[in-house]
């Protein structure tokens, strides 16, 4: 009998006897379903958050911050610096022939979340009128754009969905009084959609400030970045750092994910270790129950390979069932859930997505747990001394 | 007690299976300790906050500074004993990624308001006499390897000095600690006067005010009176008790409790399955032995108790180990969340051990019942 036929017949026999060991088999399934379900949910949370942050950046845009600043809040740029940046080479022009540049001033306002009534921060971004040329993804879907000079705001659809009293016609209390929401915008559910926007100059004067936080420009092409960056960083009158917007938001998403990353790793490591020991335990008992059967097979000439593979295949099949159950549970519980995370300086609204790539990750993890859990028992089964095993009860 | 050797022998009858089950329980309870400990530590911080202290900040948002002139008017409100203030500094040490929580405070009034934070009198004295002095939290000092007497060059992500320099020089003149162990000691405190004089912008403003009041019952009324003082000005305030404020801050992070409980529930369910299965197997394999015990005169209840006791011992030893692991790795994780200096709350150990015993009994209940109902004749005959 060929090795392959040996393996397949032992495996088939093994699988047919699985229902008799339903108790210990289900231990593997439940253990792995738990690991995969929890990890998929935690990873879906971090992945969806970073996807939403990353979606804000575009490779044909660049963001200019004060040299050394790590984010917008720690950066200030004075009016003359903004003027110099606007003159730099490589900047695209809008339909009106003006450079596609927006100098943003970012403030924050306390509002109440719809879900739990908790007070949470929402950022208020003051932008230049040219913002539409810089960020063409911004579309007004209800009402109209704010008018410069008036206390008017537009609200992102995500912010509108999760926060109270930010609908068209509502008033929002900022530093110098009540501002009216006049429109709703969407921008592909990115970070900006979780904010309020208004005219930069109007907001600056309301807050009695003269400096903006950042300048964002749309470049003529992705390739124009180097020329733009060189022009600014070699200008002795400026002390700025220039980053491609995609790189900037990648950094922001890493920061945002730090906290959940720690939780995810701790949970992942402990749960996987627990599941590996559970799998080891039940595969050992599966092998023990079949001691006589395996010894008989060996006695009539079956090789060790067949026995090892049959145990491993059993463990892997159980692991895959567990992975499927876990993935299904996390999909049912969390897929499409809207999550709001934030602190007093701003919030981020996004949807949790259990993506196929996450499911693949879960399946790989399950297979590793199943493989490790099956390997030692399989080797032990193959090494059973035939004579002793046949006498075993 | 005399049954202990019997229980012990039962546990070690199948060494591999017992050890594997134990390890499984160890990691499950390590995870429990970590997660439940985290939410318990947050609750501990809320508990440690006083409701005879109020916090007042800009109604619009905490990033919006309030004028220092508010202090004098707040002090006039009946029921307010003392008003102190705080300004965020957004510091970092050597590397911008190594951010340090720094607060600019007025040490005299601050110390009067916070008796639950212990600062040695000589340190307060030194702080009053050293303009660029700094007090370091016990845990922060441990983490960064700082000690009293060190010169400390710090950068700030927000504040530049009037002379255009971005570097600030401080001198560590003392430290503070939390005798209750429930307040994080992960901040550095500097003199507000020195800071405010040197900074290039926003001079004469603070991030928030602390108000000490006579009695907690009047907290809401005093908060309203304070807010009314500044209503309709460009610097309206939002005042609430310290407890409510911290609770709101924690709530902002998102629904932590839900996630934590969901994970714990999933883990415990899976675990119940594993241990239950092990005990079931062990009982099944020992049916003749249990029957022999009954023949010797062990009552049904005694045999059942033996099985339960095995499960309880296995689970509680493993749970103790697991919670021990959680106690070791928790403090560094809390530090990542800005709550350095906190330990795994003791209550978590009690809850964990209680849970371990409950769960040992639940998972062993079926095997134990089977052992109890065992009929001697059938079992010995192998039926």
Examine residue B241 and state whether it is found in any structural domain, yes or no: no
Q: Are residues B22 and B76 in the same domain?
A: no
> Rounded mean pLDDT of A219-224?
94
Same domain for B72 and B189?
Answer: yes
pLDDT band with cut points at 50, 70 and 90 for residue A392:
low
Candidates B90, B252, B281; nearest CB to A344: B252
The beta-carbon neighbor of B31 closest among A23, A271, A284 is A271
Q: Quick one: B41 and B145 in the same domain? A: no
Is residue B222 in some structural domain? Answer: no
Do B275 and B175 have their domain in common?
no
Position A71 scores a pLDDT of 84
The pLDDT tens digits for B279-325 are 777 788 788 888 888 898 889 899 899 989 998 999 999 999 999 99
Nearest residue on chain B to A347, alpha-carbon basis: B252
Asked if residue B210 lies in contact with residue B86, where contact means CB atoms within 8 angstroms, the answer is yes
Q: Shortest CA distance to B302 belongs to which of B242, B356, B374?
A: B374
Contact B336 A258 (CB under 8 A): yes
Contacts of B271 in chain A (CB under 8 A): 274
Q: Which of B263, B309, B314, B287 is nearest to B383 (CA)?
A: B287
A200-204, A237-241, A296-300 — which is least confidently predicted?
A: A296-300
Within a domain: residue B294? yes
Contact (CB, 8 A) for A203 and A126: yes
Do B63 and B209 have their domain in common? yes
Q: Is A26 on the interface with B (CB under 8 A)?
A: yes
Domain contains B224: no
Is residue B78, in this structure, part of any structural domain at all? yes
Query: Is residue B339 predicted with pLDDT exceeding 70?
Result: yes
pLDDT digit string (tens) for B195-219? 999 998 889 999 999 999 988 889 9
Q: Give chain B's domain count.
A: 2
Cβ pair A26:B266 closer than 8 A: no
Q: Which chain A residues are Cβ-neighbours of B263 within 8 angstroms?
A: 38, 267
pLDDT tens sequence across A11-33: 888 888 888 778 778 888 888 89
Q: What is the residue-wise DSSP string for B229-292?
A: HTTTSTT-EEEEEHHHHHHHHHHHT--HHHHHHHHHHHHHHHHHHHHHHHHHHHHHHTHHHHHH
Task: State how far residue B1 is from chain A, nearest Cα, in angstroms.
Answer: 30
Q: Which residues of B touch A280 (CB under 8 A)?
A: 20
Question: For residue B127, what are the domain limits?
Answer: 53-214
Q: Is residue B83 part of a domain?
A: yes
- Asked if residue B237 belongs to a domain, the reply is no
Would an 8 Å CB–CB cutoff place A342 in contact with chain B?
A: yes
What is the structure's pLDDT at B99?
87
pLDDT at position A166 over 90: yes
Per-residue pLDDT of A34-87, as tens digits, reads 889 988 988 888 888 889 999 999 999 999 998 878 788 888 898 889 999 999
**Rounded mean pLDDT, A157-166:** 94
B87 located within any domain: yes
Is the pLDDT at A1 greater than 60? The verdict is no
Which is higher by pLDDT, A293 or A222? A222
ipTM higher than the 0.90 cut: no
Q: Are residues B261 and B201 in the same domain?
A: no
Residues B205 and B57 both lie in one domain: yes
The reply to whether B143 and B30 lie within a common domain is: no
Is residue B340 located within the same domain as residue B302?
A: yes
Last residue in a domain, options B214, B247, B264: B214
Q: Are residues B108 and B68 in the same domain?
A: yes
With beta carbons under 8 A apart, name residues in chain A contacting B90: 74
Q: Which residue of A has its CA nearest to B282?
A: A285
Mutate to test the interface with A, among B270, B278, B281, B330 (most CBs of A within 10 A): B270
Per the structure block, which two tokens stand in for A252?
């922001």
- Residues 239-268 of chain A with CB under 8 A from chain B are 258-259, 262, 266-267
Domain identity same for B196 and B262: no
User: What is the total residue count of chain B?
Assistant: 383
Is residue B382 scored above 80 in pLDDT? no
Is the Cβ pair A345, B278 closer than 8 Å?
no
Instruction: Find the helix or strand (DSSP H, E) in which B83 lies.
Output: strand B80-88
Please indicate, yes or no, whether residues B173 and B200 belong to a single structural domain of this protein. Answer: yes
Contact A276, A366 (CB under 8 A): no
Classify the C-alpha dihedral B122-B127-B133-B137 as positive or negative: positive
- Residue A345 Cα, gap to closest chain B Cα (Å): 7
Tell which of B214, B235, B266 closes a domain.
B214
């Amino acid at each position: 009998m060929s090795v392959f036929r040996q393996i397949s017949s032992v495996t088939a026999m093994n699988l047919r006897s699985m229902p008799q060991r339903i108790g210990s088999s289900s231990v593997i399934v439940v253990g792995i379903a738990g690991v995969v379900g929890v990890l998929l949910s935690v990873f879906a949370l971090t992945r969806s958050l970073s996807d939403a942050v990353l979606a804000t950046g575009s490779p044909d845009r660049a963001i200019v911050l004060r040299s050394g600043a790590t984010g917008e809040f720690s950066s200030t740029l004075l009016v003359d610096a903004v003027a110099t940046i606007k003159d730099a080479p490589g900047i695209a022009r809008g339909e009106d022939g003006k450079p596609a540049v927006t100098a943003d001033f970012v403030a924050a306002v306390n509002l109440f979340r719809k879900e739990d009534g908790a007070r949470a921060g929402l950022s208020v971004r003051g932008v230049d009128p040219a913002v539409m040329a810089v960020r063409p993804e911004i579309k007004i879907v209800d009402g109209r754009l704010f008018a410069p000079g008036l206390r008017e705001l537009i609200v992102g659809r995500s912010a509108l969905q999760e926060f109270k009293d930010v609908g068209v016609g509502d008033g929002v209390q900022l530093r110098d009084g009540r501002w009216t929401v006049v429109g709703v915008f969407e921008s592909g559910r990115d970070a900006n959609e979780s904010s309020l926007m208004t005219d930069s100059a109007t907001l600056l004067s309301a807050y009695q400030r003269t400096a903006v936080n950042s300048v964002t420009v749309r470049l003529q092409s992705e390739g124009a970045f180097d020329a733009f960056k060189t022009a600014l960083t070699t200008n002795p009158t400026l002390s700025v750092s220039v980053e491609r917007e995609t790189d900037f938001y990648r950094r922001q998403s890493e920061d945002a994910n730090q906290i959940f990353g720690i939780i995810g790793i701790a949970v992942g490591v402990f749960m996987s270790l627990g599941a590996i020991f559970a799998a080891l335990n039940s595969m050992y008992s599966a092998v023990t129950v079949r001691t006589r059967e395996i010894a008989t097979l060996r006695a009539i000439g079956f090789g060790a390979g067949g026995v090892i593979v049959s145990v491993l295949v059993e463990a892997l099949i159980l692991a895959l069932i567990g992975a499927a159950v876990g993935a299904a549970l996390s999909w049912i519980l969390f897929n499409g859930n809207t999550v709001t995370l934030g602190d007093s300086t701003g919030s981020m609204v996004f949807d949790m997505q259990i993506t196929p790539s996450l499911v693949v990750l879960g399946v790989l993890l399950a297979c590793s747990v199943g493989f490790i859990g099956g390997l030692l028992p399989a080797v032990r089964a193959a090494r059973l001394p035939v004579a002793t095993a046949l006498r075993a009860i | 007690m005399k049954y202990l050797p019997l229980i012990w022998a039962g546990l070690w009858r199948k060494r591999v299976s017992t050890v594997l089950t134990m390890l499984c329980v160890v990691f499950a309870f390590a995870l429990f300790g970590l997660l439940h400990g985290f939410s318990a530590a947050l609750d501990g911080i809320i508990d440690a906050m006083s409701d005879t202290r109020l916090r007042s900040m800009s109604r619009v948002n905490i990033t919006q500074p309030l004028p220092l002139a508010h202090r004098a008017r707040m002090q006039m409100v009946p029921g307010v004993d003392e008003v102190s203030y705080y300004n965020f500094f957004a510091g970092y040490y050597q590397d911008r990624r190594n951010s340090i929580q720094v607060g600019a405070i007025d040490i005299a009034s601050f110390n009067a308001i916070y008796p639950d934070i212990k600062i040695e009198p000589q340190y307060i004295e030194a702080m009053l006499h050293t303009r660029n002095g700094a007090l370091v939290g016990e845990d922060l000092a441990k983490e960064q390897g700082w000690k009293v007497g060190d010169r400390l060059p710090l950068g700030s992500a927000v504040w530049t000095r009037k002379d255009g320099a971005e570097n600030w020089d401080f001198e560590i003149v003392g430290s503070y600690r939390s005798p209750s162990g429930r307040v994080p000691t992960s901040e550095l405190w500097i003199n507000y006067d020195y800071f405010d004089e040197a900074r290039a912008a926003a001079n004469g403003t603070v991030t928030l005010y602390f108000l000490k009041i006579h009695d907690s019952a009047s907290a809401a009324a005093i908060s309203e009176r304070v807010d009314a003082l500044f209503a309709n000005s460009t610097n309206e305030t939002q005042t609430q008790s310290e407890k409510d404020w911290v609770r709101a801050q924690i709530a902002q992070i998102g629904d932590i409790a839900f996630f934590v409980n969901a994970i714990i529930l999933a883990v415990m369910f899976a675990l119940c399955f594993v241990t239950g299965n092990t005990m079931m197997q062990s009982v099944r394999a020992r049916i003749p032995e249990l029957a022999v015990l009954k023949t010797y005169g062990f009552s049904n209840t005694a045999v059942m108790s033996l099985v339960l006791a095995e499960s309880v011992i296995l689970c509680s030893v493993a749970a103790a180990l697991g919670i021990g692991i959680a106690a070791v790795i928790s403090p560094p994780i809390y530090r990542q969340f800005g709550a350095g200096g906190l330990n795994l709350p003791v209550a978590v150990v009690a809850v964990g051990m209680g849970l371990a015993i409950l769960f040992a009994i639940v998972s062993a209940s079926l095997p134990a019942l089977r052992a109890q109902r065992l009929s001697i004749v059938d079992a010995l005959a192998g039926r």
